[in-house]
Structure 1
Amino acid sequence: MIEKTIGVNFRIFAAVKNVDIAEIHKSTGIAKTTLYSFKKGEMKGIQLSTLEKLSEYFKVEVHEFFVKGDADE
């Protein structure tokens, strides 16, 4: 499921940047409930604008949220 891959990548990006949900919320304005859904990989519908904000924040390309790595298997 793509949601799980996005969740894994979100957690990796946050760990690399060493930030938590509160810091991401403060910097992006994205609702904490939305961010927790991303973290859990349980989002129901994904807004492109949200992915764009997160991509800008983490300094990654949008497609990197969808790349399945070894940690997903």
Structure 2
Amino acid sequence: MAKETEEAIRARILLEVTALLESEGPDAVQLREVARRARVSLTTIYKFFPTRDDLLVSAIEAWMEDNTYLPM
């Protein structure tokens, strides 16, 4: 079985953060819950996102990339 890439792990974390933001709002984004849902350790989250704010901003930026129209 191939080892998951760092990019795939980061994307999985951001996906879970986005899901929490959409369903329960920013107060629901607790790092332990994100780690549990994404099946990673807290250390892994901190490796990619040094602070909770970095995690939230990255998730919102990723969501915007996926959900905005490209210029014509």
Q: TM-score when scaled to structure 2? A: 0.30
The structure with more radius of gyration: 2
| Structure with higher RCO (Cα < 8 A, 6+ apart) | 1
